Amino acid sequence: MAENKTKATDQDVTAFLEAVDHPVRRADGLVLDAMFRRITGWTPRLWGPTIVGYGSYDYVYDSGRSGTSLATGFSPRKTALSLYIMPGYQDYSAIRDRLGKHKIGKACLHINKLADVDLSVVEELVRRGVDDLGRRYPVTGS
């Protein structure tokens, strides 16, 4: 089976965030980093070249594929901030209704800028996502 492409690295998270070109994404990334640290109590690691991850978990799918992934995190991408909640956002529609302007993918929440959303709702989503993941898999702090 193919290995996961996105793995934890030893790159400096703060240096990565401070080097983000887009000034709003850079500032929002620093705000999210402080928020995720406060919520999880974990030190972030850079996963691949662009994902700031907090904690990790080992998984095995029904197909037999297994690996390690970040427990939660975000990426200040060029087009939007992508927030990762590993169980996915589909079951959180009632919370997302209170969030503000966003789009979702399978395990990603895309936000143009933090000014478009209610930060207390973002915090609630992160907390719920980490708690939900912890009920499904053993989660290790970082």
> Can you give the residue ranges of every domain in the chain?
13-132
19's tokens: 């080097």
pLDDT at 3 over 70: no
Per DSSP, the chain holds a count of helices (H) and strands (E) of 4, 7
- Count other Cβ atoms within 10 Å, centred on residue 20: 19
User: How many Cα atoms are found within 13 Å in the side-chain-facing hemisphere of 49?
Assistant: 3
59 φ, ψ (degrees, to nearest 5) = -130, 155
The per-residue pLDDT of the chain, averaged, comes to 92
Secondary element (H or E) of residue 28: helix 23-40
pTM to 2 decimal places: 0.92
Per residue in 22-62, pLDDT (tens digit) is 999 999 999 999 999 999 999 999 999 999 999 999 988 78
Per residue in 81-101, pLDDT (tens digit) is 999 987 666 688 899 999 999
Q: Which pLDDT score is estimated for 136?
A: 87
pLDDT at 105 over 90: no
- pLDDT (average), residues 127-137: 91
CATH topology classification for 13-132? Aspartate Aminotransferase, domain 1 (3.90.1150)
Contact 31, 22 (CB under 8 A): no
Q: Which pLDDT score is estimated for 90?
A: 66
How far is the CA of 140 from the CAs of 22, 36, 50, 56, 57, in angstroms?
32, 15, 21, 5, 6
Which residue's entry shows tokens 């080097």? 19
How far is the CA of 110 from the CAs of 2, 20, 117, in angstroms?
27, 17, 11
Q: Which pLDDT score is estimated for 67?
A: 87
Identify the band that residue 138 occupies on the pLDDT scale cut at 50, 70 and 90. very high
Q: Which pLDDT score is estimated for 62?
A: 83
For the chain, state the CA radius of gyration.
14
